[in-house]
Amino acid sequence: MTFRATVLTLYPEMFPGPLGTSLAGRGLAEGLWSLEARNIRDHAIDRHRTVDDTPAGGGAGMVLRVDVLAAALDAVAAEDPKPRPMLAMTPRGAPLTQAKVRELAGGEGAIVLCGRFEGFDERIFEARKVEPVSIGDYVLSGGEVGAMVLLDACVRLLPGIMGAASSGEEESFEEGLLEYPHYTRPVDWEGRTIPEVLRSGDHAKIAAWRKQRAIDDTRLRRPDLIERHGGAREAPPSGAQ
Protein backbone atom coordinates (compact mmCIF):
# COMPACT_ATOMS: atom_id res chain seq x y z
CA MET A 1 0.00 0.00 0.00
CA THR A 2 1.38 3.40 -0.96
CA PHE A 3 0.33 6.48 0.94
CA ARG A 4 -1.26 8.79 -1.64
CA ALA A 5 -1.54 12.53 -1.07
CA THR A 6 -3.60 14.82 -3.25
CA VAL A 7 -3.48 18.52 -2.49
CA LEU A 8 -6.15 20.86 -3.83
CA THR A 9 -4.78 24.37 -4.03
CA LEU A 10 -4.81 27.58 -6.05
CA TYR A 11 -1.00 27.34 -6.12
CA PRO A 12 -0.04 23.82 -7.26
CA GLU A 13 3.40 25.14 -8.23
CA MET A 14 4.22 25.34 -4.50
CA PHE A 15 4.46 21.50 -4.45
CA PRO A 16 6.41 19.37 -3.79
CA GLY A 17 8.45 22.30 -2.37
CA PRO A 18 10.18 21.11 0.80
CA LEU A 19 8.48 17.72 0.46
CA GLY A 20 10.75 17.06 -2.51
CA THR A 21 13.85 17.17 -0.27
CA SER A 22 15.49 14.94 2.35
CA LEU A 23 13.48 12.02 3.81
CA ALA A 24 10.16 12.92 2.18
CA GLY A 25 11.82 13.65 -1.17
CA ARG A 26 13.72 10.38 -1.15
CA GLY A 27 10.51 8.56 -0.26
CA LEU A 28 8.75 10.24 -3.19
CA ALA A 29 11.54 9.29 -5.60
CA GLU A 30 11.44 5.69 -4.34
CA GLY A 31 7.66 5.46 -4.68
CA LEU A 32 7.08 5.02 -0.93
CA TRP A 33 4.38 7.67 -1.21
CA SER A 34 2.89 9.78 -3.99
CA LEU A 35 1.96 13.44 -4.21
CA GLU A 36 -0.29 15.20 -6.67
CA ALA A 37 -1.12 18.90 -6.51
CA ARG A 38 -4.25 19.94 -8.40
CA ASN A 39 -5.51 23.39 -9.12
CA ILE A 40 -8.90 24.15 -7.59
CA ARG A 41 -9.38 26.66 -10.40
CA ASP A 42 -9.62 23.81 -12.92
CA HIS A 43 -13.00 23.05 -11.36
CA ALA A 44 -14.45 26.54 -11.72
CA ILE A 45 -17.75 26.54 -13.52
CA ASP A 46 -17.76 29.88 -15.30
CA ARG A 47 -15.70 31.13 -18.20
CA HIS A 48 -13.74 33.51 -15.96
CA ARG A 49 -12.64 30.50 -13.85
CA THR A 50 -13.92 32.18 -10.69
CA VAL A 51 -13.22 30.32 -7.45
CA ASP A 52 -14.36 32.86 -4.85
CA ASP A 53 -17.08 35.35 -4.05
CA THR A 54 -17.88 38.02 -1.46
CA PRO A 55 -18.85 36.89 2.05
CA ALA A 56 -22.56 36.54 2.77
CA GLY A 57 -23.47 39.13 5.39
CA GLY A 58 -20.74 41.48 4.22
CA GLY A 59 -17.22 42.06 5.44
CA ALA A 60 -13.73 42.08 4.05
CA GLY A 61 -12.12 39.51 1.78
CA MET A 62 -13.39 36.69 -0.40
CA VAL A 63 -14.65 33.18 0.33
CA LEU A 64 -13.92 30.01 -1.65
CA ARG A 65 -17.11 28.85 -3.36
CA VAL A 66 -18.69 25.63 -2.13
CA ASP A 67 -19.71 24.45 -5.62
CA VAL A 68 -16.15 24.79 -6.92
CA LEU A 69 -14.67 23.08 -3.85
CA ALA A 70 -17.18 20.23 -4.12
CA ALA A 71 -16.42 19.76 -7.81
CA ALA A 72 -12.69 19.56 -7.05
CA LEU A 73 -13.17 17.04 -4.22
CA ASP A 74 -15.66 14.96 -6.21
CA ALA A 75 -13.32 14.74 -9.18
CA VAL A 76 -10.50 13.38 -7.00
CA ALA A 77 -12.80 11.02 -5.11
CA ALA A 78 -14.28 9.65 -8.35
CA GLU A 79 -10.81 8.53 -9.46
CA ASP A 80 -9.80 7.10 -6.10
CA PRO A 81 -9.15 3.36 -6.18
CA LYS A 82 -9.73 3.41 -2.40
CA PRO A 83 -11.45 6.23 -0.47
CA ARG A 84 -9.15 8.59 1.43
CA PRO A 85 -10.00 11.00 4.24
CA MET A 86 -10.70 14.56 3.13
CA LEU A 87 -9.07 17.27 5.21
CA ALA A 88 -9.16 21.06 4.97
CA MET A 89 -6.47 23.30 6.40
CA THR A 90 -8.07 26.01 8.52
CA PRO A 91 -7.27 27.81 11.78
CA ARG A 92 -10.86 26.93 12.75
CA GLY A 93 -10.00 23.23 12.75
CA ALA A 94 -8.99 20.82 15.48
CA PRO A 95 -5.26 21.16 16.24
CA LEU A 96 -3.16 18.56 14.44
CA THR A 97 -1.72 15.99 16.86
CA GLN A 98 0.81 13.20 16.57
CA ALA A 99 -2.04 10.73 17.24
CA LYS A 100 -3.92 12.11 14.22
CA VAL A 101 -0.73 11.98 12.14
CA ARG A 102 -0.20 8.31 13.08
CA GLU A 103 -3.81 7.52 12.19
CA LEU A 104 -3.44 9.16 8.77
CA ALA A 105 -0.04 7.58 8.11
CA GLY A 106 -1.58 4.14 8.71
CA GLY A 107 -4.22 4.71 6.03
CA GLU A 108 -4.52 5.13 2.28
CA GLY A 109 -3.37 8.76 2.30
CA ALA A 110 -5.28 12.04 2.30
CA ILE A 111 -6.98 14.60 0.11
CA VAL A 112 -6.03 18.00 1.49
CA LEU A 113 -7.86 21.24 0.68
CA CYS A 114 -5.83 24.44 1.00
CA GLY A 115 -7.67 27.68 1.65
CA ARG A 116 -6.83 31.23 0.63
CA PHE A 117 -8.49 34.59 1.25
CA GLU A 118 -11.03 34.31 4.12
CA GLY A 119 -11.24 30.54 3.73
CA PHE A 120 -13.93 28.02 2.72
CA ASP A 121 -17.69 28.28 2.44
CA GLU A 122 -18.64 26.42 5.63
CA ARG A 123 -21.14 24.13 3.87
CA ILE A 124 -18.33 22.07 2.32
CA PHE A 125 -17.41 20.48 5.66
CA GLU A 126 -20.68 18.69 6.30
CA ALA A 127 -21.62 18.14 2.67
CA ARG A 128 -18.43 16.21 1.81
CA LYS A 129 -17.40 15.00 5.30
CA VAL A 130 -14.32 17.19 5.23
CA GLU A 131 -12.35 17.31 8.47
CA PRO A 132 -11.07 20.79 9.43
CA VAL A 133 -7.44 20.69 10.61
CA SER A 134 -5.36 23.49 12.14
CA ILE A 135 -1.59 23.47 12.52
CA GLY A 136 -1.63 25.98 15.36
CA ASP A 137 -3.09 29.08 16.91
CA TYR A 138 -1.88 31.60 14.35
CA VAL A 139 -3.04 32.62 10.89
CA LEU A 140 -1.13 31.75 7.72
CA SER A 141 -1.82 33.38 4.38
CA GLY A 142 -2.77 30.05 2.81
CA GLY A 143 -3.26 26.37 3.56
CA GLU A 144 -0.32 25.13 1.45
CA VAL A 145 2.35 25.43 4.14
CA GLY A 146 -0.04 23.78 6.60
CA ALA A 147 -0.63 20.93 4.15
CA MET A 148 3.13 20.49 3.84
CA VAL A 149 3.43 20.31 7.62
CA LEU A 150 0.71 17.70 7.82
CA LEU A 151 2.12 15.59 4.98
CA ASP A 152 5.71 15.82 6.22
CA ALA A 153 4.60 14.58 9.65
CA CYS A 154 2.71 11.65 8.05
CA VAL A 155 5.33 10.69 5.49
CA ARG A 156 8.21 10.36 7.96
CA LEU A 157 6.21 7.61 9.72
CA LEU A 158 5.69 5.53 6.58
CA PRO A 159 7.51 2.19 6.40
CA GLY A 160 10.92 2.57 4.78
CA ILE A 161 11.18 6.35 5.17
CA MET A 162 13.19 6.66 8.38
CA GLY A 163 14.91 3.29 7.99
CA ALA A 164 16.81 2.04 11.01
CA ALA A 165 17.71 5.58 12.12
CA SER A 166 14.61 5.93 14.27
CA SER A 167 11.30 4.20 14.75
CA GLY A 168 9.77 7.47 15.88
CA GLU A 169 8.26 5.69 18.86
CA GLU A 170 10.30 7.52 21.51
CA GLU A 171 9.71 10.96 20.07
CA SER A 172 7.86 13.92 21.45
CA PHE A 173 4.08 13.42 21.87
CA GLU A 174 4.21 9.64 21.33
CA GLU A 175 3.67 9.02 25.04
CA GLY A 176 1.96 12.30 25.74
CA LEU A 177 5.31 13.82 26.74
CA LEU A 178 8.02 15.89 25.10
CA GLU A 179 11.09 13.85 24.29
CA TYR A 180 14.13 13.93 26.61
CA PRO A 181 17.00 16.24 25.51
CA HIS A 182 19.89 15.09 23.32
CA TYR A 183 23.63 15.75 23.41
CA THR A 184 26.59 14.80 21.27
CA ARG A 185 30.36 15.44 21.18
CA PRO A 186 32.27 17.49 22.21
CA VAL A 187 31.77 16.43 25.84
CA ASP A 188 32.99 19.81 27.11
CA TRP A 189 31.86 22.89 25.22
CA GLU A 190 32.22 26.44 26.57
CA GLY A 191 32.33 25.01 30.08
CA ARG A 192 29.12 23.05 29.61
CA THR A 193 29.39 19.27 29.86
CA ILE A 194 27.19 16.43 28.75
CA PRO A 195 25.35 15.07 31.81
CA GLU A 196 27.49 12.45 33.57
CA VAL A 197 24.78 9.78 33.47
CA LEU A 198 24.76 9.77 29.65
CA ARG A 199 28.48 8.94 29.71
CA SER A 200 28.12 6.21 32.36
CA GLY A 201 27.29 3.34 30.00
CA ASP A 202 24.62 2.23 32.51
CA HIS A 203 21.59 1.72 30.25
CA ALA A 204 19.06 1.36 33.05
CA LYS A 205 20.23 4.62 34.65
CA ILE A 206 20.19 6.38 31.27
CA ALA A 207 16.65 5.21 30.57
CA ALA A 208 15.48 6.37 34.01
CA TRP A 209 17.17 9.76 33.56
CA ARG A 210 15.60 10.23 30.15
CA LYS A 211 12.15 9.33 31.43
CA GLN A 212 12.51 11.80 34.27
CA ARG A 213 13.71 14.60 31.98
CA ALA A 214 10.81 13.96 29.62
CA ILE A 215 8.40 14.37 32.53
CA ASP A 216 10.19 17.41 34.02
CA ASP A 217 10.51 19.25 30.71
CA THR A 218 6.91 18.54 29.76
CA ARG A 219 5.72 19.80 33.14
CA LEU A 220 7.76 22.98 32.67
CA ARG A 221 7.14 23.74 28.99
CA ARG A 222 3.85 22.04 28.19
CA PRO A 223 1.76 21.61 31.35
CA ASP A 224 -1.26 21.26 29.04
CA LEU A 225 0.12 17.89 27.84
CA ILE A 226 0.45 16.63 31.42
CA GLU A 227 -3.13 17.70 32.13
CA ARG A 228 -4.43 16.07 28.97
CA HIS A 229 -2.86 12.75 29.92
CA GLY A 230 -4.40 12.41 33.34
CA GLY A 231 -2.87 15.16 35.42
CA ALA A 232 0.39 15.18 37.34
CA ARG A 233 2.57 12.20 36.54
CA GLU A 234 3.99 10.49 39.59
CA ALA A 235 7.75 10.71 39.50
CA PRO A 236 10.37 11.72 42.04
CA PRO A 237 12.13 15.06 41.46
CA SER A 238 14.97 14.57 39.04
CA GLY A 239 17.75 16.78 40.42
CA ALA A 240 19.68 15.76 37.30
CA GLN A 241 21.43 18.40 35.24
Give contact residues for ligand SAM (rule: CB under 6 A).
89-92, 114-116, 118-119, 134-136, 138-143, 146
Of residues 140 and 240, the one with the C-beta less far from ligand SAM: 140
Was 45 annotated as part of a binding site? no
What crossing angle do the helices spanning 22-29 and 143-155 adopt, rounded to 10°?
70
Was 135 annotated as part of a binding site? yes
Of residues 114 and 215, the one with the C-beta less far from ligand SAM: 114
Was 142 annotated as part of a binding site? no
Q: Are 132 and 92 in contact (CB under 8 A)?
A: yes
Was 140 annotated as part of a binding site? yes
How far is Cα 193 from Cα 151, in angstroms, rounded to an integer?
A: 37
Cβ of residue 36: shortest distance to ligand SAM, in angstroms?
Answer: 18
Cβ of residue 121: shortest distance to ligand SAM, in angstroms?
Answer: 11
Of residues 109 and 143, the one with the C-beta less far from ligand SAM: 143
Q: Are 82 and 108 in contact (CB under 8 A)?
A: yes
Would you say how long the chain is, in residues? 241
Was 163 annotated as part of a binding site? no
In one-letter notation, the amino acid at residue 25 is G
Of residues 68 and 177, the one with the C-beta less far from ligand SAM: 68
Alpha carbon separation from 202 to 147, 168, 181, 182, 236 (Å, rounded):
42, 23, 17, 16, 20
Could you list the residues known to form a binding site, using ranges: 115, 135-140
